[in-house]
Amino acid sequence: MYLFVTTTSRQYSRMDYRFAGKRKTLSLGVYPDISLAKARKLTLKTKEDLADGIDPSFKKQVEKAFNQFNSANTFKVIAANGLLAT
């Protein structure tokens, strides 16, 4: 885990890892929104996923897509799009 600082002084917690022979980088969050202590905990969870054979980057993408689907799957959105059977 390391802190990546941009030219605009934004600070990102990141982690490098290898999965299926490829080097990958996972962003853990923006400091101070994600504290260093929380970033360390996320790093440990990520290492556990890697030990179980799970790609943390793919897992994060799936969770994001699932959350977007659940937030868009409301009665208001369905009714506005005319998806209700009459």
Question: Residue 14 pLDDT > 90, yes or no?
Answer: yes
Give the total residue count for the chain: 86
For residue 43, pLDDT beyond 90: yes
21 within 8 A of 13, measured Cβ to Cβ: no
Answer yes or no: are the C-beta atoms of 11 and 4 closer than 8 Å.
Answer: yes
CATH number at residue 68: 3.30.160.390
Count of domains forming the chain: 1
For residue 24, name the pLDDT band (cuts at 50, 70, 90).
very high
In a domain? residue 35: yes
Helix (H) / strand (E) containing 52? none
Q: Give domain status of residue 85, yes or no.
A: no
- pLDDT, position 79: 72
Asked if residue 20 is part of any domain, the answer here is yes
Which single residue is written with the structure tokens 């208001």? 76
